[in-house]
Amino acid sequence: MSMKINFVTSNQYKFKEFTEISGLDLARVNLDLEEIQAVDVGKVAEHKARQAFAIIKKPVIVADTGLYCEAWKGLPGALAKWFDQTIGYAKLCNLLGEDRAARAQTVIGYYDQNGYRAFVGEVQGEIAKSPRGDYAFGWDVIFAPKGCNQTFAEMGKNEKNKISMLKIAIDKFKDFLQE
C-alpha cells in the first residue's frame, strides 16, 4: 500500500518499534490525546483512535498494550504503567501469589472514513518472580512468554519482536491492508 499511514503516538520508542516490526511507511503524529483510564486495552485504543481521527480527519492508527494477570482478574491491564509508577514492577512480582499466569495483549486501533477496526495480538505467559533482563520497555522485565524461560527483556529486541503481541497484531493489520 503506497498511502502513508498516520501513527498517532507521543512515544518515540513505540513508533520506532512499530516501524521496525511492520516495515510500513508511517508518519508519526504527536497529538496530546486524552487517555481514558481503563483495564481493557481495546477500549483505550478505540477511544484514542476516534479522538485522533476527529482531529486530523485522515486515517489513523494507535497501538496500546496491556498486561493481564489471571489471579487479579485482569489487572493491571492497560494500567500497567501506573502500577509501575506507583509500586514498581518488583513489588508487583512480590504481591502476586502462586498463580503467575498472565497474558500480554496489544490492540492496534485503525480509524478511517469507514469507521473503527481493531487488530489484537496476544501472547500467553507468566509473571516472573522478580524483574529480569537488560533490554527493557515497560513490563518486558517481568513477562515471560509461555514455554520460554526468559522474560522479554532477557531475550533482547530482535528475539522479542519475532514473537511479541505487537508482531501478531501488526501481521493482522497488514493482512487487512492487503484486502
Q: What is the pLDDT of residues 25-78, one digit of tens each?
A: 999 999 988 889 999 999 999 999 999 999 999 999 999 999 999 999 999 999
CA distance readout (Å), 138 to 6, 22, 37, 52, 170: 24, 20, 17, 24, 19
Whether residue 112 lies in the annotated active site: no
Using pLDDT thresholds of 50, 70 and 90, give the confidence band for residue 2: low
Of 25, 32, 64, 140, which one is the catalytic site residue? Answer: 64
Query: What integer is the mean pLDDT of 94-105?
Result: 96
User: What is the DSSP code (8-state) at residue 4?
Assistant: P
pLDDT for 34 equals 84
Domain spans, the chain = 5-178
| Architecture of the structural domain at 5-178 | Alpha-Beta Complex (3.90)
Q: What is the pLDDT of residues 111-155, one digit of tens each?
A: 999 999 999 999 999 999 999 998 667 899 999 999 999 999 999
Q: Can you read off the three cell numbers belonging to residue 110? A: 485503525
CA distance readout (Å), 1 to 62, 109, 126, 168, 176: 18, 18, 37, 19, 11
pLDDT for 1 equals 44
